[in-house]
Amino acid sequence: MTYQTDGILLIDKDEGETSYDVVRKVKSALDIKKVGHAGTLDPFATGLLIILIGQGTKLSSFIMSNKKSYVATLRLGTETDTLDRTGKVIKTSTVPELSKEYIREKVCAFQGEIEQTPPVYSAIKLKGARAYKLARRGEEVFLEKRRVLISALDIVSVSLPDVCLEVECSSGTYIRSLAADLGVSLGTGGHLVSLRRTACGPFSVDKAQRSRDVGRQSFETLQEGMIPLISVLTWIPQIEISRPIAKAIRLGKRSALSEIVRDLNQDCETSGLIKLICSGELVAVLKANTGRRDGHGRLEILRVFS
């Protein structure tokens, strides 16, 4: 029987585990050395963690660029240094009887493209070190604001001091910062008490295997859940290429790209990502650049798969 050694696994991470804990368990269960993940989940968070296996580790940037969906609970009246329930309380205030309509009005202001400051307790690199390490050493941490897109933000329930929200957002969004900023907007302050990632692009936690079962499940069960390389990047358009061109691409011969250019529509300025497929296998992911109609310099090889 042939086993898959390249692809991704959808895992529903339990509370209390680090993302690396899950990676380590999968690595041991499948006896595969090259294992990673796309998009860290904090230990207190649960939900979808995409595990990258073998050459699946080359897919990380493509998967992580997708929008993500979460269910998050904000607790008003208490602020913490980490912006979540794992941190030290730094401020408290009384939570008045806020109407759902008033909360909804404030929530609506956070939809669309907004600016947010990442938490100082984050993995962002600053002066050669992770921001959270600097913060734990008592050093001053200043992180610049960034623009993110909140494409959907809906109230699930209000049971003061808690407000439960559904969030759909761009890559790079910090839900902890969103919760803290909303708390400030409501005049009470607040912090994140629970977070569950429900989707990343086309991948849903509903299709995921529970992390608590990894290690107890059989090797075959995990294998059955693995999504092969060819089936991962469903949102990227593809071009079927011949075996000789596929071989040339895998050998790093850029001259083979001229054959692919002829398959592109020369009447338009093609841009974006393109998959190269050969006989049901993923060969490469390319980037097509805009503004060049002569075929020179239009294609850039981003990843090659053997």
CA separation, residue 37 to residues 21, 54, 196, 197, 214 (Å): 11, 11, 17, 14, 15
3-class SS letters over 97-131: CCCHHHHHHHHHCCCEEEEECCCCCCCCEECCEEH
Whether 294 is a known active-site residue: answer no
Q: How big is the CA angle at 182 (ends 180 and 183), to the nearest 5 degrees?
A: 65
For residue 244, say if its preceding peptide bond is cis, omega within 30 degrees of 0.
no
Q: What is the biggest distance separating any 2 CA atoms in the chain, rounded to whole angstroms?
A: 70
User: Is 69:166 a contact under the CB 8 Å cutoff?
Assistant: yes
Per DSSP bridges, beta strands 112-116 and 146-159 are: antiparallel
Give per-residue burial for 157-173: e unless 16+ CB within 10 Å, then b. Answer: ebeebbbbbebbbebeb
DSSP assigned state of 201: T
Residue 76 host element (H or E): strand 68-76
- Given the residues 12, 21, 31, 42, select the one marked as catalytic: 42
The residue type at 147: R
Residues with catalytic roles: 42
